[in-house]
Structure 1
Amino acid sequence: MHLLEAIFLGIIQGLTEFLPISSSAHLRIVGEFLPSAQDPGATFTAITQIGTELAVLIYFWKKIVHIIVQWFRSLTGAVPRNDPDARMGWIVIIGTVPIGVLGFLFQDVIRDTFRNLWLVAIVLIVFGILLGVADALGSRTRTEADLTYPHGLALGLAQSLALIPGVSRSGATTTMGLALGYTRPAAAEVAFLLAVPAVFGSGVYELIQAIEEPGAAVFSLTETAVATVFAFGVGLAVIAFLMRYLKRGSFLPFVLYRIALGGLLIVLLSLGVLQPY
């Protein structure tokens, strides 16, 4: 039964990682309704995110390789330091620092306190509203070529909020991108690229912890590995869908979904159907 649950949660991870609706919140909520009725935990979430980030590498492979090449060439002076792709390399580095530092310093709080379902419900609603406001009021005139280092730091700080289940890594970074005036596709793409080192770093760290303490995780490493494979396949399809959708669609459906899910969660908690922990 645990393997089937892990596969199901892997699919949920793939479906929700790139949509601005918070994969960690969905794994936290869905886990309560599975036969085992338990939180899959931060370790399972972080490791399965490796699968979804592999999907990012595959989908944006050419772009990522070009960014890395241009970044290294800028170090030797072969290309100007203000080359857009070289600058993107630096922005990814700068934007990764906040979540790396905060994730390390507050890992115990992230594993326990932040997984309170009351907090998840409130965060789903509040950040859903913020996404809606940014999407409606943002100028949507800037592209990736307009990225600056201060913007990179701001995007990185926004990404660090995703340490709280319910915020959504892609949602928080995209919201900041929209608020800064970037187009929807550009804001989403930057959010995906910015997440790569942070997610891989977190996933590898949790994987090492799970190997050293195999009994501490809800699912075995084998079950988690299978879930990660499913997360990769589903996540790749979702990226392709979202990048096509954002060329013509808004974030309104995701905003309404977040508010509805947060509201439903509050009702279930108030009625005692679900417990905060």
Structure 2
Amino acid sequence: MDPIQAIILALIQGLTEFLPISSSGHLILPQTLLGWQDQGLAFDVAVHIGSLVAVIGYFRRDVVSLLGNWSSSVIQRREVGDSRLAWLVILATMPAVLAGLLFNDVIEQHLRSAAVLATTTLVFGLLLGLGDYSRRENRTLTDIGIGIALLVGLAQAIALVPGTSRSGITITAALLLGLGRADAARFSFLLSMPIIAAAGCYKLLELLQSSGPVEWGNLALGFAVSALSAYLCIAAFMQWIERVGMMPFVIYRIVLAAVIVMVAMP
């Protein structure tokens, strides 16, 4: 991999990880159109860590508050500040963690085809449009209970299927369950932190067990580009979401599904 490839792939990762448009649907295109090889496990770890640093950096006040209140609630054995939301984030993360442990090999072997990517990109894009169009906005983050947290968590587990988009399906579920756009996006981003951390740790363990060469320059470049682009992407998304809504992303996903069919399917 040369530095230009590292920059392009890291930009794709950073810009698509948190937008509801499917990062895996985009990463297949350079491989197909330009004949690039898979970026490798080490590069995957670097860009995932970059994305994690970006989302933690943007929501740093929330992270500090949630961790502090959660720790206090454990020690004092009672609800403290935002500790309830912290516990709900943990609960909502469990379905995806369990699904990843149980079905990761099946997904890797059987669900990474262009046909699956095109189908999930289209179907879950249309569901995102439905969620945005039919949203009721009769709940806020303080109204989230165990049931809603588990349903959004189950939606996040489905996002293990390539092309679904983790942010897309969790925002869709939150909108359908009554949250407004900003709260749905914020809850989705809070959920992204433990799941990206878990995925990064899993990939890091695989990397430590492998014996392949490591291109440290490209890893550092990928980390930096992924972190910066993801941070700017989150900031723009949170500022524009109320005004823009989800329809531009729905239209984009429909076009992306068509492009995948045309260029990546025989």
TM-score (norm: length of structure 1):
0.89
> In the alignment, which of 140, 156, 159 is matched to residue 156 of structure 2?
159
- 2:26 is matched by which residue type in structure 1? H
> In the alignment, which of 146, 162, 170 is matched to residue 149 of structure 1?
146
Q: Deviations over 1:100-122 (max 9, x none)?
A: 11112222223232211110000
Q: Are the structure 2 counterparts of residues 44 and 166 from structure 1 closer, same or farther at C-alpha, using a change threshold of 3 Å?
A: farther
Q: Show the counterpart of 1:231.
A: 226
Contact 1:24 1:45 in 2 (8 A): no
Shift of 1:44: 4.3
Contact 1:47 1:224 in 2 (8 A): yes
Distance in 1 (CA, whole Å) between partners of 2:28 and 2:200 is 17
Trace 1:239-254 onto structure 2 (pairs within 5 A). 239-254=234-249
Q: Are the structure 2 counterparts of residues 241 and 253 from structure 1 closer, same or farther at C-alpha, using a change threshold of 3 Å?
A: same
Trace 1:23-34 onto structure 2 (pairs within 5 A). 23-34=23-34
Shift of 1:25: 1.9
Q: Show the counterpart of 1:275.
A: none
- 2:10 is matched by which residue type in structure 1? G
Matched, 1:265 2:260: yes
Contact 1:214 1:220 in 2 (8 A): no
For structure 1, list consecutive stretches of 5 or more residues without a partner in the other structure.
273-277
Contact 1:129 1:255 in 2 (8 A): yes
Trace 1:107-122 onto structure 2 (pairs within 5 A). 107-122=104-119
- Percent identity over the alignment is 37
Q: Show the counterpart of 1:71.
A: 70
Q: Show the counterpart of 2:172.
A: 175
**SS of structure 1 residue aligned to 2:37:** coil
Q: Show the counterpart of 2:47.
A: 48
Contact 1:7 1:227 in 2 (8 A): yes
Q: Are the structure 2 counterparts of residues 116 and 46 from structure 1 closer, same or farther at C-alpha, using a change threshold of 3 Å?
A: farther
Distance in 1 (CA, whole Å) between partners of 2:117 and 2:208 is 28
Q: Show the counterpart of 1:38.
A: 37
Distance in 1 (CA, whole Å) between partners of 2:216 and 2:200 is 13
Q: Which segment drifts farther, 38-47 or 152-161? A: 38-47
Q: Which segment drifts farther, 232-241 or 88-97? A: 88-97
Contact 1:24 1:166 in 2 (8 A): yes
Q: Deviations over 1:62-116 (max 9, x none)?
A: 11110111112222337x52x5611111111111111111112222223232211
Shift of 1:253: 0.2
Distance in 2 (CA, whole Å) between partners of 1:72 and 1:230 is 33
Q: Are the structure 2 counterparts of residues 43 and 124 from structure 1 closer, same or farther at C-alpha, using a change threshold of 3 Å?
A: farther
Distance in 1 (CA, whole Å) between partners of 2:3 and 2:37 is 14
- 2:258 is matched by which residue type in structure 1? G
Q: Are the structure 2 counterparts of residues 44 and 198 from structure 1 closer, same or farther at C-alpha, using a change threshold of 3 Å?
A: same
TM-score (norm: length of structure 2):
0.92
